Structure 1
Amino acid sequence: MHTARADRLKALLDRPEDEIDLAEAALLVATDEYPALDIEAYLRRLDELAEGVRRRLQPEADFETTVVALNEFLFDEQGFCGNTEDYYDPRNSFLNEVLDRRRGIPVTLAILYIEIGRRLGLALEGVTFPGHFLVKTATAEGEVVLDPFSGGMPVSEEDLRERLQARFPEHDAPLGALARLLAAADKKQILLRMLRNLKAIYLHREQHDKALGVLNRMLSIDPVLPEELRERGEVYMRLECFRAALQDFRRYLDLNPAAAEAALLHRRISDLERLAARLN
């Protein structure tokens, strides 16, 4: 990311939570891949989409009416949808591409949904539910969970339990666990969820230079991410950046000294120290 835009993202994420523009942050992250991205043009696109919904609403429209209008406009009329045909296309993880192609994955469609909803007065929050990002809001009748990947459809407690059971068949999901899993994510957590998807794609494709860029971005958002430090160390090793790998493995063990792979990493650190000494 260009220094000015990196500084802009840092300043944005240093604001109080309710002052962070999630769409702007996601677009700033996208400039790592698209350096010439016109962020303001894409923010105007979001304004235009929200205005398209607003024109269909009466001024006193309630929550349910607004959500129905949002879903009809965004998913039926505009054609936004989950990219089930090519779920692991990296473009699904960039908000500009989602706006251009009208295809995305749960977390990027949720960012789109949250940001258009915010412009309509809907207080929507992201939920880092295992395996499938969701959106929720509080109403007079209680919390409502929505799935932008499935056209903004509401998700019942029974549906949530079934999803958990499918993902973790060996465990039952007690009510308390389900409540914890539906906790609202802050905006940094949403960005990190988006970047984790992208990181996993690049690692699977063995695109180590791109994976390194994503890991660097994640660790700039939150420097204390043990798993990402370990993974970045492994990427550095593959790219033959041995001193950088050594630094990340040491930092990982400082943060996670009882890690299951601690003995393996201590041996790897010893090997890297000998290698670094020869390179001096």
Structure 2
Amino acid sequence: MLLNLHAPTPLEYFASLVQSDDELPLLETAISLAQDEYPELDLQEPLLAVESLQSRLRRRCDRSASVLERIRLLNRFFYGELGFSVNRNDYYDPENSFLHAVLQSRRGIPISVGLLWLELARGIGLDAHGVSFPGHFMLKVLLAQGQVVLDPLTGKSFSSEELTEQLQSQIPRLSLVSDDVVPLAMFLQSARPREIIARMLRNLKEIYRTQHDAQRLLAVQQRLVVLLPQDWAELRDRGWAHLELEHTQQAMADFETYLDHARDASDTQQVAQKLRDLRTLS
């Protein structure tokens, strides 16, 4: 019997991590996103670094401390002592999405900084969750009665009025919401790990698309297709990335599958025409 002893590629390893919603390891999966850029990255190093920070924090946390006391302790440690904050100098640097780099620089964007905050929060017994709020990833901690919603870049809590104001500023680009109704609770649901990873990848997708970096964009699209196998728009976008790199056969295969499954999409005629053009040329 032949044994397959080759080391998994970054994409294969990612696929093994995201097979199951119930067992998806959020921190490890998020760290693994950097392996396309840093294929030799040892994931254990950042995992152990987070574990060390958790241990330091737990030693300072009184077991009898209330939820609010634990949040204040965490914020003093995370934002004050460790100095985590936003990367104001280069907000759209891809490094802001690579957790091993954020751990070193202490600078990132809401979702990367927030994910590290979440890990420390759970390490001291807080019922903490990510929130895929439009335009700005947020954090929330469940209380005995209600919840507190926080800005991952500062630890500051938001009032309902502030959250409503932020949501209203996003309404013009939200198709599910009418101008006169703001269902705030709908946008404060806990984000599942798969949703958080998808948001991180889509941040990178937009960066590489804007930079016209087709090779890196394709690597992100490969992950999105693995992560969201029923999201046919991501498959279509992988086809466009393949086409940009002149991978004609791969692009055609993606466009064909997209047209088979997304027949009611608004761009099917455009994709079908491109597919016909490619068939004519091939």
TM-score under structure 1 normalisation?
Answer: 0.90
Aligned match of 1:23: 27
Picking from 164, 177, 181, the partner of 2:187 is 181
Unaligned regions of 5+ residues in structure 1, if any? Answer: none
SS at match of 1:144: strand
Deviation at 1:38, TM superposition (A): 1.8
Q: How many residue pairs are counted as aligned between the two chains? A: 272
SS at match of 2:147: strand
Q: 1:44-63 maps to which residues of 2 (within 5 A)? A: 44-63=48-67
Q: Per-residue CA shift, 1:80-122, capped at 9, x if unaligned?
A: 0011221100000111111011111111112111111122112
Deviation at 1:136, TM superposition (A): 1.5
Question: What is the alpha-carbon distance in structure 2 between the residues aligned to residue 248 and residue 198 of structure 1?
Answer: 21
Kindly provide the amino acid, as one letter, of the partner of residue 39 in structure 1: L
Aligned match of 1:167: 170
SS at match of 2:60: coil
Aligned match of 2:3: none
SS at match of 1:122: coil
TM-score under structure 2 normalisation?
Answer: 0.90
Kindly provide the amino acid, as one letter, of the partner of residue 163 in structure 1: Q
1:137 aligns with 2:141: yes
Question: What is the alpha-carbon distance in structure 1 between the residues aligned to residue 118 and residue 87 of structure 2?
Answer: 18
CA RMSD, Structure 1 to Structure 2 (Å): 1.9
1:113 aligns with 2:100: no
Runs (4+) of structure 1 moved beyond 4 Å?
4-8
Kindly provide the amino acid, as one letter, of the partner of residue 49 in structure 2: R
SS at match of 1:41: helix
Q: Per-residue CA shift, 1:191-236, capped at 9, x if unaligned?
A: 1100100011011000100000011011112222222222211111
Aligned match of 2:217: 211
Aligned match of 1:84: 88
Kindly provide the amino acid, as one letter, of the partner of residue 254 in structure 2: D
Q: 1:188-207 maps to which residues of 2 (within 5 A)? A: 188-207=194-213
Picking from 245, 258, 262, the partner of 2:268 is 262
Q: Per-residue CA shift, 1:47-72, capped at 9, x if unaligned?
A: 12122222322121111111111111
Deviation at 1:168, TM superposition (A): 2.6
Deviation at 1:6, TM superposition (A): 4.5
Contact 1:165 1:173 in 2 (8 A): no
Distance 1:257 1:16, change over 3 A: closer
Question: What is the alpha-carbon distance in structure 2 between the residues aligned to residue 162 and residue 114 of structure 1?
Answer: 25
Deviation at 1:78, TM superposition (A): 0.8
Question: What is the alpha-carbon distance in structure 2 between the residues aligned to residue 15 and residue 217 of structure 1?
Answer: 15
Aligned match of 1:14: 19
Distance 1:234 1:169, change over 3 A: closer
Kindly provide the amino acid, as one letter, of the partner of residue 95 in structure 1: L
Unaligned regions of 5+ residues in structure 2, if any? Answer: 1-6
Question: What is the alpha-carbon distance in structure 1 between the residues aligned to residue 11 and residue 273 of structure 2?
Answer: 36
Percent identity between matched residues is: 39
Question: What is the alpha-carbon distance in structure 1 between the residues aligned to residue 82 and residue 50 of structure 2?
Answer: 12
Deviation at 1:76, TM superposition (A): 1.0
1:158 aligns with 2:164: no
Question: What is the alpha-carbon distance in structure 1 between the residues aligned to residue 34 and residue 43 of structure 2?
Answer: 9
Distance 1:266 1:14, change over 3 A: closer
Aligned match of 1:146: 150
Distance 1:220 1:266, change over 3 A: same
Distance 1:173 1:187, change over 3 A: farther
Contact 1:233 1:245 in 2 (8 A): yes
